[in-house]
Chain A
């Protein structure tokens, strides 16, 4: 589904190489996790895939179901089925959460040549999906993420994911700033979306999120490359021994 080959990325503003040849394939129906120390390039990878400004791809490719992601505008990537759950969801004063979601859902449908969803159907759907994430009517009415707690913001990301039904979901440190209960709620939301047609890339510092969202493959990223891949046991190894041993091993 998601194929990343030899991806090299530098910052646009300064001559600093962040990704130095990332190779990664996420198959439909699988959950891949990327772990790694601070500054290894994990978040950069998620931003480059979603099309954020400020990065320059100097080499390599990234495709979603064969479509060249790097050629597309961010909204086209979304319509193609890519979704990024932000590490720091953005507050948008003056735009109602519900209005925002309906605009997004319909924009994607339109881009794919599908009919827009009716207001009534949308309302029914969002109520049902919000309930599962314990998002109340008030949170739906309020401006996007404004005054939301850290946990509420992350739940709101998962709600967007549930409503947009993407093919490929990237979760960027979704566990940061979450207490145990919130992590459970968010994980349950993600697990409910696991499906044989959908791929996940879960970026995290810590193993504990992977207790809830069980990965099929775990990758260790360091210094702009994936240095080791393995099964779920790799995450446990990191938890017990830290990154130092692994990095020493591959150096």
Chain B
């Protein structure tokens, strides 16, 4: 079916501002992805999947400028022993990065891998993304596959000694970055991937993750605090038998964020947890869009999203659990909650379950509320000042999401960032 003219024009305008990078082994996947973009068209406000989030600025030919923001704080994960890989406005920074080598893993840049015509990543790059286009289209991810200028390709053969840490620095007010990562974890191996930083004025990032049987991936992300930055991210994960996928995202500030997570449980007894804590003050729009497909027996999935909103901030949650025929003994859980600190903020939630198996346990819930006045008075009556008591209750509200992080040191890092944010954004 032909695209509406407006959508076609907007799509072509965006495409005309981009050129296909030298792809080598990825050329075919990029050409296919470009064809997908042209067939789908880039998102517009009228698309059902973009009902709550305006995609215009993510789609425009030029990225809106974003002022640089000096957070005046030590970057997160600084105390964690990790393999650092740094991108500045989407450009790899060799001097700031560690050597791309770590026992047990093969690690390479997408850009430099293009010299070769064969690559292990060929079975994953654009493949999981293409699969994730059904039943819901995700054109920005296809755009990413076609035009990504760099990224990392990680093949985890054995559990490495430390996490892989992707650091995204924003240094140019007009930067428009497209990065695409591929992570393949072999049977029995486990890896932790960290991501932090604002990345660019506009950031389109895609990560494809392939977990073999018994493989484990922990992902902890802290999206940078630049107030004016925009980000559209996608994670596509395919889970084998008894594999474990756990992802947590902290978002504080950022004028526009859309994080999509698309998970397919293809092997029996696999576990997928996706969690997010976001705190927004003022001109802040944060959208978590999650799609979990159960296509095997006895798998568990959890979606835990908590949003603290004030001064007109907007939070969006679109979460779906799809249980396919035959995916018996599925245990699916989904909760999305917002804490609205004033009357100006809003939370828009669309929780969905679609179930075609008869022996499953799925639950979902979504709430919006204010600070519990009873609890606040109780704390104050014990001598805790109102602002401290409010912070304590706010952190307690976020706790269920933060508890999804298994590593204690990483969880503490996240909690301390949240506490600092709350103190900075007090009402007084």
**Which A residues have a C-beta under 8 Å from some C-beta of B?**
50-53, 73-75, 77-79, 83-84, 86, 89-95, 100, 103-105, 107-108, 111, 143, 160, 164
Contact = CB atoms under 8 A, between A and B. Distances in A.
Contact of B396 (A83, A92, A111): A92
Contacts of B378: 86, 89-90, 92
A108 B377 contact: no
A51 B380 CA distance: 9
Contacts of A143: 396
Nearest to B374: A90
A226 B136 CA distance: 70
A221 to B, nearest CB: 22
Interface stretch (B10-18, B67-75, B84-92, B387-395): B387-395
Given A103-B392, A104-B379, A107-B383, 19 more contacts: A52-B377, A52-B381, A74-B377, A75-B381, A75-B385, A75-B386, A79-B383, A84-B381, A90-B374, A90-B375, A91-B375, A92-B379, A92-B396, A94-B397, A103-B384, A104-B382, A104-B383, A111-B385, A160-B382
Contact of B383 (A89, A91, A93, A111): A111
B393 A95 contact: yes
B399 interface: yes
B396 A107 contact: no
13 contacts: A51-B380, A73-B386, A75-B384, A92-B379, A92-B393, A94-B399, A100-B382, A103-B388, A104-B379, A104-B382, A104-B383, A104-B384, A111-B385
Residue of A84, A93, A94, A108 with highest tally of chain B CB at under 10 A: A94
A75 B380 contact: yes
A75 B393 contact: no
Residue of B382, B389, B396, B400 with highest tally of chain A CB at under 10 A: B382
Interface in B326-376: 372-375
A74 B395 contact: no
A105 B382 CA distance: 8
Contacts of A89: 378
Contacts of B393: 92, 94-95
B81 to A, nearest CB: 26
Residue of B378, B382, B383 with highest tally of chain A CB at under 10 A: B383
A75 B374 contact: no
A55 to B, nearest CB: 12
B385 A94 contact: no
Nearest to B395: A94
Interface residues of B, number: 23
A90 B381 CA distance: 11
Nearest to A109: B383
Contact of A107 (B375, B388, B399): B388
A191 B265 CA distance: 60
Contact of A78 (B372, B383, B396, B400): B383
A75 B383 contact: yes
Interface string B144-161: 000000000000000000
B396 A94 contact: yes
Contacts of B388: 103, 107
A208 to B, nearest CB: 27
A7 to B, nearest CB: 19
A9 B10 CA distance: 66
B302 to A, nearest CB: 17
A174 to B, nearest CB: 15
Given A75-B384, A107-B383, A92 B375 contact: yes
A75 B380 CA distance: 5
Instruction: Give me the 9 closest cross-chain CB pairs, A-B, nearest first.
Output: A94-B396, A78-B383, A108-B383, A104-B382, A74-B380, A90-B378, A94-B399, A75-B380, A95-B396
Contacts of A74: 377, 380-381
B418 to A, nearest CB: 12
Contact of B384 (A50, A86, A107): A107
A83 B382 CA distance: 7
A197 B136 CA distance: 71
Contacts of A91: 375
Contacts of B381: 50-52, 74-75, 77-78, 83-84, 86
Contacts of B385: 73, 75, 107, 111
A115 B327 CA distance: 59
A90 B373 CA distance: 10
Given A74-B377, A89-B378, A94 B400 contact: yes
A92 B378 CA distance: 9
A34 to B, nearest CB: 19
Nearest to A74: B380
Nearest to A81: B383
A51 B395 CA distance: 25
B414 to A, nearest CB: 15
Interface in B386-424: 386, 388-389, 392-393, 395-397, 399-400
